[in-house]
Each structure stands twice: as C-alpha cells, then as structure tokens.
Amino acid sequence: MRVFPIPLLFAWTSAFVPPDPRGHHTTRLEMSDVGDLLYQEQENILIRRGELEEELLAENSSPLEANVVKIRGAGKSGGFGGGGSKTSPAALKAEGKAHAKVLKKDGVVRIDKVLSSDQADTMREYVLSLREKSLEEIKSGKVQSLQRFANVLLRKDRCDLTLPLGQDDVIANSLNEVLRESAAGQTIKALLGKGSILYELSCLISDPGSHRQNLHPDTPHFVGSEAVLYTCFIALQDVRLNMGPTTWLPGTHTAEAHEAFQDGNSSSEGGESKKDELIRTAPSVLGLLPKGCCAIFDSRLLHCGTSNKSENDSRALFYFSFKGKKVGYPGNPASIRPEIERTQITMEDLEEDLASYSKGKGHPMIDQIGKSLR
C-alpha cells in the first residue's frame, strides 16, 4: 500500500550501473549503496515537501469527529462471544447506510468502538511481535522483504506489515468484531454492494522519528467512475497529536480536486500553484482516533501520515480494504500476502467463515489459507 510514483525513477536509476574495464558491473560503491543514496536523496525531497504541506494546512485543520447515528428501534441480540449485548444485524445495517451517506459525501467517516479495548490491546501486541519475527525471517534469508512488508516511501521508522490469516485466531477475532459486530462492514457493503473483494490486509506502524508523508490519493480518479476501493483504518491504541495521526482532506475524492492536485506548476491569482492553493484552502481533519475506533475512507481522498514526534510511542493502525467486484487493478499495489490475494475473498465469504467460527464450527476458508502461507 501507499506506493508513490517517485520509486519508479529510483528503480530505473539504481538498476543502471556501467561496466568497468574488466567487464564487471560495479562502481566504487556497490549497487545497493548507490540505490540507498538515490533513495535518501528522493526522501529528502519528500521530507521538505511534507514540511511545506504541513505549513499550508496549519490554519485549517481540526480533529475528525465521530459520526454519531441513532437508529430507532435498534435492538440487541446475541453474537460472537455471547452475552446478548450485541447490536442486531438490522440495526447495524441501518447504521451502516447512515455512515455510508457521510462517507460518499466527505470521502471519510469515523466510527467509534468497532474493536473492543481488550482485542485492540491483543492485536497491537500481536502485530508488534509479528514485525520483529518478520524482520528476523528476512535477516536470516528465510523470506524476502516483500513477503512480509509492502513497499512504503519514507521508510525510516515506518512500515506496512502485511498480515496472515489462519495461523492463529487474533486476526480472525479482530475481523469478526469489526465486520460482523460493528457497522464498519455494513458501511462498506452499503457502498460497494454484494461481492466486494478483500484487497488489502495489513498494519501500518510508525515509530518515533518517522517523517510526515506527502499528501496523496491511494488510487486515481477514473473519469465517470464511482469509488473503487474503501479502506478501514483501526487504531490499536489512542492516537495522540504527537504520534503521527493521519490527515485527510474531506471532499477531495472528486475529479475537480484531483485535477487541481495534479497541477503543481500553473499559478493561481495569488501566485501559488493550483495544487498548493487546494491544500491551503481545503479543510483537513486529523485522525486522533481513540483505541478501537476506525476511519473508513474513499481511496481517492487526499491524505497522508504525519510525523511521529513522540518519545517512545509507536502508532499502529490495523487496516483492510475492499474493492468493487467489477474492479480490476484499482491503480495501487495491494498490501496483502500473495496467498490471500489469490483467494479473492468476498465480503460475504469472509462473513460466513467468521460466523461459522463464532458458532464453534471453525473457519474452513481461513484455515485453508493458513496452510498455504509461507
């Protein structure tokens, strides 16, 4: 997830190394050293651009507020884990439609308490441990980096850790709470309809010292099309201002906003580019999400991760994306394990599997995927 055009330049330049007189493709620096230098140069450019964008947004930003929905006759029913305290499916569906209306208009919506506090703690501990295990596997040569981490620019103190399915119950339990026991799943279904496909399953982790990203959409705006992808970010801890919360620019998932954003050269009447004018004048919201809360956003919406300025608090966001059933390549590589991507899991298949597990019958599809993971 979150791959920008600039690495294409990096990939081309770092791959070309002229031969020396002895016929060996080497220079005074090893190819990896040259690549690292080029990458660092490009990152420095992006860091400076991020600082400028932070200044442009400074006076027009506010926290992303929760969308509070009251459903008449919202009953309760038993659910995963028992206790009879879960919101009824009918109420969740009605709530999801209300959230979807806001999401379609603004491009982002916050829904509170989609993951219980205890499960968020368990999930956070799990992903941080998985990151360390993955780094050890890569260092030992057991796996390649792309088998555990998706590409991400400004990689210093930031990673995009792809998640497995079927190797334990932590991720399945979390998906069950978010998709079946909260309105998050119903919100996505209200927008994408039946047959939407799980496109991403990962965790973004930014550590203290991570730099601010540049504003970007995850997918382009295809002329005349509806949204192709919706992403759900779930906070695994309270996200404070100094921990690098995500910034979104509501309303910038439109063709007009994308046209202005891509015009970084033409000047407006004030002498600044149309892109910078858009950033300066558009309202922005910060993802100061309490633990267990989520933000769902249209992949075309302009957004970025900000810098983590805390002393020792990593910010972990468990996330997944669903794309429309008729959508091919949406314009951005998926942050997901290849074995899961090949399965082409639909929302309904995933819900059915999780429902089976909640009844003590196991989750056959997820278990089968787990057997294929490396």
244: its two tokens: 């690098």
User: Which residue shows structure tokens 């991760």?
Assistant: 305
- Within a domain: 21: no
CB 155 within 8 A of CB 305: no
pTM of the complete model: 0.87
260: its two tokens: 């202005």
- Within a domain: 25: no
Domain interval for residue 332: 6-15+31-372
User: Which residue shows structure tokens 């990203």?
Assistant: 213
- Within a domain: 24: no
Q: Give the torsion sign (CA, 118, 121, 125, 128).
A: positive
**Three-class SS of residue 292?**
coil
CATH number at residue 83: 2.60.120.620
Count of CA atoms in the C-beta half-sphere (13 A) of 18:
3
- Within a domain: 109: yes
User: pLDDT 10s digit of each residue in the chain, 374 long?
Assistant: 554 443 333 332 233 233 333 333 333 345 456 667 777 788 889 999 999 999 999 888 999 999 999 876 554 443 333 333 578 999 999 999 999 999 999 999 999 999 999 999 999 999 999 999 999 999 999 999 999 999 876 778 999 999 999 888 999 999 999 999 999 999 999 999 999 999 999 999 999 999 999 999 999 998 677 899 999 999 999 999 999 999 999 999 999 999 999 987 766 566 789 999 999 999 999 999 999 999 999 999 999 999 999 999 999 999 999 999 999 999 889 999 999 999 999 999 999 999 988 787 777 888 888 878 76
Total domains in the chain come to 1
Alpha carbons 297 and 225: distance in angstroms, whole number: 16
Q: What is the dihedral of CA 161, 162, 163, 167, to 10 degrees?
A: -110
How many angstroms separate the first and last alpha carbons of the chain?
A: 20
The bridge status of strand 158-162 relative to strand 294-298 is: unpaired
Using alpha carbons only, give the angle 59, 227, 197 rounded to the nearest 5 degrees: 125
285: its two tokens: 């919201």
Per-residue pLDDT tens digits for 313-362? 999 999 999 999 999 999 889 999 999 999 999 999 999 999 988 787 77
